[in-house]
């Protein structure tokens, strides 16, 4: 039987593209009888929402844009332009205009992210429905009604267990891309330390953000969420 993509209705060819949503319930903290440690137990449930390759890719773009939006706003605030705009730091009128222009630039990723989520952009690689639409899936609604909570476990057990989802078909290019991204992330991290020691703390902040973004990306490529 062909599985239908929950987000767009076309055929979901490989379970690897499925959206995996973990749930937990009945969290219990207990002391172990012999050695005193707190043992936390809970029940777990996983829903696989069928998804096609196109929506999988589109949701990847959506998540990357969300990360970029946050990074852009933090970078803007860290660069000192925000202080100039608000008048906390002394600035010339020209400096204020520049700070305002940079503010618009810093907000651009957020605007693009909202547009992608709302499916306003006519780009065929984007998903017609955003990632959150998975929460309207009947199986998800049912579990929610039965009192299950989102996430596969209480904090910090927020990772879906490895056996819960299908693994990406072995792909050398993908592994290579993951390794290169991780390497670039590591290089950015080293640059951060070098720049920080030399006193260029603003640039160092930028590289730290880049390192974080690259590590995030490489983990996505490796696991294929």
- Name the residues that contact Zn ion, by CB under 5 A: 5, 7-8, 52, 55
**And the tokens for 141?**
């609604």
Nearer to Zn ion, 3 or 151 (CB): 3
Shortest distance (Å) from residue 17 CB to Zn ion: 8
Distances in Å between the alpha carbon of 16 and those of 53, 104, 133, 165? Answer: 9, 38, 19, 7
Nearer to Zn ion, 14 or 96 (CB): 14
CA–CA separation, 142 and 137 (whole Å):
9
CA–CA separation, 50 and 15 (whole Å):
7
Helix axes 201-223, 53-78, angle to 10 degrees: 170
Shortest distance (Å) from residue 145 CB to Zn ion: 26
Shortest distance (Å) from residue 169 CB to Zn ion: 18
Distances in Å between the alpha carbon of 8 and those of 32, 133, 139, 188, 225? Answer: 48, 11, 17, 38, 18
Nearer to Zn ion, 13 or 40 (CB): 13
Shortest distance (Å) from residue 61 CB to Zn ion: 13
Nearer to Zn ion, 8 or 177 (CB): 8
């Amino acid at each position: 039987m062909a599985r239908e993509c929950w987000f767009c209705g076309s055929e979901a060819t490989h379970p690897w593209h499925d959206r995996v949503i973990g749930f937990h319930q009945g969290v219990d903290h207990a002391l172990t009888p012999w050695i005193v440690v707190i043992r936390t137990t809970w029940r777990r449930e996983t829903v696989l929402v069928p998804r096609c390759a196109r929506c999988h890719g589109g949701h990847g773009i959506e998540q990357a844009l969300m990360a970029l939006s946050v990074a852009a706003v933090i970078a803007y605030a860290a660069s000192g332009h925000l202080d100039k705009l608000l008048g906390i730091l002394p600035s010339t009128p020209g400096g204020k205009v520049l700070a305002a222009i940079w503010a618009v630039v810093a907000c651009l990723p957020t605007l693009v992210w909202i547009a992608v989520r709302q499916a306003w952009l006519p780009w065929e690689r984007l998903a017609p429905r955003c990632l959150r639409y998975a929460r309207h899936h009947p199986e998800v609604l049912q579990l929610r009604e039965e009192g299950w909570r989102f996430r596969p476990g209480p904090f910090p057990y927020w990772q879906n267990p490895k056996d819960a989802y299908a693994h990406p078909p072995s792909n050398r290019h993908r592994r290579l891309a993951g390794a290169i991204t991780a390497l670039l992330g590591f290089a950015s991290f080293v640059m951060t330390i070098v720049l920080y020691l030399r006193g260029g703390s603003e640039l160092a902040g930028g590289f730290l953000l880049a390192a974080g973004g690259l590590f995030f990306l490489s983990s996505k490529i490796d696991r294929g969420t």
